[in-house]
Amino acid sequence: MTDPRKPTIVFCHGIWADGSCFSKVIPTLQADGHQVIAVQYSLESFEEDVAMIKRTLNRVSSPVLLVGHSYGGATITAAGVDERVAGLVYIGAVAPDVGETVQDQLNKYPSDIFSRVEVADGYAWMLPNGTEFFCGDLSETEQKLVWATHFPPHADLFTQQCVQSTPWKSKPSWYVLCLQDHTVHPDLQRWVSKRMGATVIEVESSHVPMLSKPDVVIDVIRKAAAAVMEKKGTLAYSS
């Protein structure tokens, strides 16, 4: 059953994915008593993706812990100004400041994955061999499933203007830094996590630790939830 004392966990996915990419961590967090929901947004427009997060916040209890993977780090930064959001968890993610775009950040430390991307019909499609750089520590079967279900973004999504303010300057944040990431370069992850002053947890994983190392991601979210509860003056978290 959902424990009303515990924060709601709202997951925000990256590109080439949807909310199901968190399927290995959601059941455990639900069993812990959290209300959990994964936002399903279109990857068509940054503004619309953030609007969908806000609509989702209207459907759940607060306080909320926002969890963003990859591009989802930009969307939770934009949506995290909402007063219901008590903390932010970034997983191999970008984290733009005011005036920056996602592409601005990616350009600082180029990664391998974009050599395995084809733009067609206005969308950025991952080529079949792109899974090597996206989720190379998954089994061959799982990599094939990731590719078969990958969700392409609009080709100009990364160049759209992003955040209006930066909640990671005032709200607690945690960062899962993926040391074997060939999609968001580990050096970029180090740079953004240091800039935001996040609590950093390094993991030997590809870009998708929620699939390859779900126990690590669960542990980080549990600790973040405990910190949020302590700050709110509720009972200590017990896993």
- How far is Cα 81 from Cα 76, in angstroms, rounded to an integer? 9
Torsion of CA 123, 127, 128, 134, to 10 degrees: -90
pLDDT tens, 73-114?
Answer: 999 999 999 999 999 999 999 999 999 999 999 999 999 999
Q: Please say whether the beta carbons of 171 and 80 come within 8 A.
A: yes
Does the pTM surpass 0.75? The reply is yes
Domain ranges (residues) in the chain: 8-232
Q: Which residues of 204-225 are buried (b: 16+ CB within 10 A; e: fewer)?
A: ebbbbbbbbbbebbbebbbbbb
The DSSP H or E segment spanning 59 is none
* Homologous superfamily of domain range 8-232: Alpha/Beta hydrolase fold, catalytic domain (3.40.50.1820)
Amino acid, res. 155:
A
Band of residue 176 on the pLDDT scale cut at 50, 70, 90: very high
